[in-house]
Chain A
Amino acid sequence: MIEITHITKEYDGVKAVDDVSMTVETGSVTVIVGTSGSGKTTLLRMINRLEEPTSGEVRINGASTLSEEPYILRRRIGYAIQGHGLFPHHTVARNIGAVPQLLKWPADKIRSRVDELLDLFSMEPDQFRDRYPAELSGGQQQRVGVARALASRPDLLLMDEPFGALDPIIRTRAQDDLRRIQQRLGSTIMLVTHDMEEAIRLGDRVAVMDAGKLVQYGTPAEVITTPATRFVADMVGEMERPLRLLSLIPLSDVMESGEADGAPLGPEASLRDALSACLWTGRSAVPVEEDGHITGRVTLQAIRSRAELHK
């Protein structure tokens, strides 16, 4: 558990982060979202003490981050940044093994950890281990950057706009990969982004920052349905709200027995996907398929009633 209590950062009398308190559960993904200058990156960087707080404190599993040297602290916290920050003069294997190397793991343990991570990120170890960053595509570089941040099995993974430099298609894939890997490893992740779409896609909890203050901290559904301020509502987007909400609800929630025509969707697809399929093909219901069998259907009517439920 990460506890942030009354943390403030001042630069020349201006508060970049103003009295922020929040608690992050172990094994969850928390996305800090805000415009540029909102203090979201400063907040993230105070957790691994790349910035020292002016006041307040951060506790990781009960222990204050101020109780040890910053560089020792940072070796327990993964850190992935926009533009990956890979070492251009080191191979992929050496890049991924950088933190275990700092922690003085034995060489064979580092080697097997590197291969394990490359496998996890769908990169063939034999093919990629000895390459240099310049020989990888943008998406591969980004994956190596995240693998490096995860290498020492850190208590916490901090990510600062990790997908910011990727094109939209690769970004969506990278987000799905991160979700899959996080669920598999049970990692605790805090991620900073300016993109509300990304925050809603990835976050178990979303923290919205505005002018240094934490203006709302809740589940994606809460942020969409009951925005705390005008600013949060603007970030979500008035017209987008119903669609954003539907994108959070899986078909399994409103599935009913019965039949429908046309191409089926999987149970993990969202109501937004189902709505889209209905509108595009002129159907009033879509079949739901699991393991090759049709298990039910989702009707347009059910989607509509689910969308009105928040009132």
Chain B
Amino acid sequence: MYLTPGLLFSVLGLAALMAPLMTLAANRIVAGEGVMAWDVAALPLVIPGLVAILAGLGLGLLTGRPAVRLAGGVLGLAGLIWLLVQGATAMLDGAGNYARVSPAAGFWCLLVILVLLIADALAALRPRPLARGGLLFAALAVLALVLGSGVLSELSVLQEYASRRDTFMRESLRHLSLSIGSLGAAAVIGFPLGILCHRRAQLKGATLPVLSFLQTIPSLAMFGLMIPILGWVGSTVPGARSIGIAGIGFAPAFLALVLYSLLPVVGNTVAGLASTPPAALEAARGMGMTPAQRLWQVELPLGLPIILTGLRIVLVQNIGLAVIAGLIGGGGFGTFVFQGLNQTATDLILLGALPTVVMALVAAIVMDILVDLTRHGPKDTR
């Protein structure tokens, strides 16, 4: 018998169950004590969750029945969250005013394994793009419902959230505007540049190496470099300071992200335009299309999936990189991460890191759906 993903997931899942599911700490700074899955609450409360996880992993073994495996993954995930909800309240009983409960290694491992199980089953089911959008929306709705209902509000990371509710909203918006705004700016610069590079090989030869070089600058160094450069611009160019250009803050972070975005945008625009079959291009020329008509009617539509793939890379990359903006006062989720690092408060770090991961995942899925929707031609031969 060879190794199926389902078998791998259930073996790893059982191993993860043997690790502490949650931790109980005396306060938000000190390291906590691990608590095993069956100890997080009274046994009658724990059993349904454990059974659901084991049953879910078991259903995941049924190779060739992706719908059943999907159901197994969802059941296991429900069981895992059930345990977390029970643990969050039960473990704090009589543990003192400053005590904190958090998910531990066992929880995170199980979470990853079950999500992989679901992703694997979904990949086998091949839902159409719009169905994938619906599934994503449903998953986000369930997440919002669980978080909004308050059943997990005793968890340490949500305690951190509760004391920073307003800041969190502001930094979320800041993070979004940093990553999506820089994508927009890179697209505005990169598309025309890519089209020009496609038309003129010399320009391409000069541009792409420079952009590749920018890409190799380590992100911390890039953000650091922006401080003196924009600081100088802010203090010498009249009016620059009044529109918010200074050595630290939003502007240098935004600029650094734009510079990182240019290579994928320009590179994929060039690759997308070059992917047009030569015979189709020759026919387009021979039938009397002007260069602009060839671009809009042939090259761009045929290259769009590749161009959008470039935007997908940029968006996911920028959502991750924007965390570093927190270091130079640019705001975003990085603010919590670096505050947390300074205070050695792991849960504050998580408050910055977890939404970043969710945002990047959502962006990746949404962009994938868009890429699929722009693929032209027969829908069933994909």
Q: Which residues of A contact B (CB under 8 A)?
A: 48, 50, 70-75, 79, 81-90, 98-99, 102, 131-132, 134-135, 145, 148-149, 158
Compute how far the CA of A274 lies from the CA of B359 in the bound complex, rounded to whole angstroms.
78
Is B243's beta carbon under 8 Å from chain A? no
| Size bracket of the B interface | 20 to 34
Q: How far is the CB of A72 from chain B (nearest CB, A)?
A: 7
Is B279's beta carbon under 8 Å from chain A? yes
Q: How far is the CB of A131 from chain B (nearest CB, A)?
A: 8
Residues of A within 8 A of B280 (CB): 85-88
Residues of B within 8 A of A72 (CB): 288
With contacts A81-B279, A84-B279, A85-B280 taken as known, whether A71 is within 8 angstroms of B290 at the C-beta atoms is yes
Question: Is the Cβ of A102 less than 8 Å from the Cβ of B288?
Answer: yes
Chain B 262-308 interface residues, beta-carbon cutoff 8 Å to A:
277, 279-290, 293, 298, 301-302
With contacts A88-B277, A88-B377 taken as known, whether A71 is within 8 angstroms of B282 at the C-beta atoms is no
Compute how far the CA of A134 lies from the CA of B302 in the bound complex, rounded to whole angstroms.
14
Question: Is the Cβ of B289 less than 8 Å from the Cβ of A134?
Answer: no
With contacts A132-B377, A134-B377, A134-B378 taken as known, whether A85 is within 8 angstroms of B283 at the C-beta atoms is yes
Compute how far the CA of A214 lies from the CA of B289 in the bound complex, rounded to whole angstroms.
31
Question: Is the Cβ of A89 less than 8 Å from the Cβ of B288?
Answer: no
Residue of A nearest to B281 (CB): A85
For the complex of A and B, the 4 pairs showing the least CB-CB separation, nearest first, are A85-B283, A89-B376, A79-B286, A74-B288
Q: Give 28 A-B contacts (CB < 8 Å), ordered by A residue.
A: A50-B282, A71-B290, A73-B288, A74-B285, A74-B286, A75-B288, A81-B279, A81-B282, A82-B279, A83-B279, A84-B279, A85-B277, A88-B277, A88-B280, A88-B302, A88-B376, A88-B377, A89-B302, A99-B287, A102-B287, A102-B288, A134-B377, A134-B378, A134-B381, A135-B378, A145-B283, A149-B287, A158-B286
Compute how far the CA of A148 lies from the CA of B288 in the bound complex, rounded to whole angstroms.
13
Which residue of B287, B302, B378 contacts A74 across the interface (Cβ within 8 Å)? B287
Residues of A within 8 A of B302 (CB): 87-89
With contacts A83-B279, A85-B280 taken as known, whether A135 is within 8 angstroms of B286 at the C-beta atoms is no
Interface flags for B14-37 (1: CB within 8 Å of A; 0: not) read 000000000000000000000000
Known: A86-B280, A134-B377. 12 other contacts (CB 8 A): A71-B288, A74-B288, A79-B283, A81-B286, A82-B279, A85-B283, A89-B377, A99-B288, A132-B377, A134-B378, A145-B283, A148-B287
Compute how far the CA of A251 lies from the CA of B202 in the bound complex, rounded to whole angstroms.
63
Question: Is the Cβ of A48 less than 8 Å from the Cβ of B298?
Answer: no
Compute how far the CA of A99 lies from the CA of B284 in the bound complex, rounded to whole angstroms.
9
Question: Is the Cβ of B381 less than 8 Å from the Cβ of A135?
Answer: yes
Compute how far the CA of A297 lies from the CA of B258 in the bound complex, rounded to whole angstroms.
85
Residue of A nearest to B290 (CB): A71
Compute how far the CA of A145 lies from the CA of B283 in the bound complex, rounded to whole angstroms.
9
Residue of B nearest to A101 (CB): B297
Q: How far is the CB of B141 from chain A (nearest CB, A)?
A: 35
Q: How far is the CB of A288 from chain B (nearest CB, A)?
A: 44
Compute how far the CA of A131 lies from the CA of B298 in the bound complex, rounded to whole angstroms.
18
Residue of B nearest to A95 (CB): B283
Question: Is the Cβ of A86 less than 8 Å from the Cβ of B286?
Answer: no
Compute how far the CA of A299 lies from the CA of B279 in the bound complex, rounded to whole angstroms.
49
Question: Is the Cβ of A86 less than 8 Å from the Cβ of B283?
Answer: yes
Residue of B nearest to A149 (CB): B287
Question: Is the Cβ of A85 less than 8 Å from the Cβ of B288?
Answer: no
Interface flags for B349-382 (1: CB within 8 Å of A; 0: not) read 0000000000000000000000000001110010
Question: Is the Cβ of B381 less than 8 Å from the Cβ of A75?
Answer: no
Compute how far the CA of A53 lies from the CA of B288 in the bound complex, rounded to whole angstroms.
18
Residues of B within 8 A of A131 (CB): 378
Question: Is the Cβ of A85 less than 8 Å from the Cβ of B279?
Answer: yes
Question: Interface centre among B277, B287, B290, B293, by most A CB within 10 Å?
Answer: B287
Question: Is the Cβ of B286 less than 8 Å from the Cβ of A50?
Answer: yes
Q: How far is the CB of A122 from chain B (nearest CB, A)?
A: 22
With contacts A88-B280, A89-B301 taken as known, whether A98 is within 8 angstroms of B378 at the C-beta atoms is no
Which residue of A85, A98, A132 contacts B282 across the interface (Cβ within 8 Å)? A85
Compute how far the CA of A75 lies from the CA of B284 in the bound complex, rounded to whole angstroms.
10
Residue of A nearest to B283 (CB): A85
Residue of A nearest to B297 (CB): A87
Residues of B within 8 A of A90 (CB): 376
With contacts A89-B377, A132-B378, A135-B378 taken as known, whether A102 is within 8 angstroms of B289 at the C-beta atoms is yes
Q: How far is the CB of A99 from chain B (nearest CB, A)?
A: 5
Residue of B nearest to A72 (CB): B288
Compute how far the CA of A87 lies from the CA of B288 in the bound complex, rounded to whole angstroms.
14
Compute how far the CA of A158 lies from the CA of B283 in the bound complex, rounded to whole angstroms.
12
Q: How far is the CB of B279 from chain A (nearest CB, A)?
A: 4
Compute how far the CA of A89 lies from the CA of B378 in the bound complex, rounded to whole angstroms.
8
Q: How far is the CB of B236 from chain A (nearest CB, A)?
A: 49
Compute how far the CA of A134 lies from the CA of B375 in the bound complex, rounded to whole angstroms.
13
Question: Interface centre among A74, A84, A87, by most B CB within 10 Å?
Answer: A87
Compute how far the CA of A86 lies from the CA of B284 in the bound complex, rounded to whole angstroms.
9
Compute how far the CA of A86 lies from the CA of B376 in the bound complex, rounded to whole angstroms.
14
Q: How far is the CB of B299 from chain A (nearest CB, A)?
A: 11
Compute how far the CA of A87 lies from the CA of B282 in the bound complex, rounded to whole angstroms.
11
Residues of A within 8 A of B284 (CB): 85, 87
Compute how far the CA of A131 lies from the CA of B277 in the bound complex, rounded to whole angstroms.
19
Residues of A within 8 A of B378 (CB): 131-132, 134-135
Compute how far the CA of A149 lies from the CA of B284 in the bound complex, rounded to whole angstroms.
11
Q: How far is the CB of B285 from chain A (nearest CB, A)?
A: 6
Residues of B within 8 A of A88 (CB): 277, 280, 302, 376-377
Residue of B nearest to A76 (CB): B288
Compute how far the CA of A158 lies from the CA of B287 in the bound complex, rounded to whole angstroms.
11
Residue of A nearest to B375 (CB): A89
Compute how far the CA of A148 lies from the CA of B289 in the bound complex, rounded to whole angstroms.
14
Question: Interface centre among B281, B288, B293, B298, by most A CB within 10 Å?
Answer: B288
Chain B 296-327 interface residues, beta-carbon cutoff 8 Å to A:
298, 301-302
Question: Is the Cβ of A79 less than 8 Å from the Cβ of B376?
Answer: no
Residues of A within 8 A of B376 (CB): 88-90
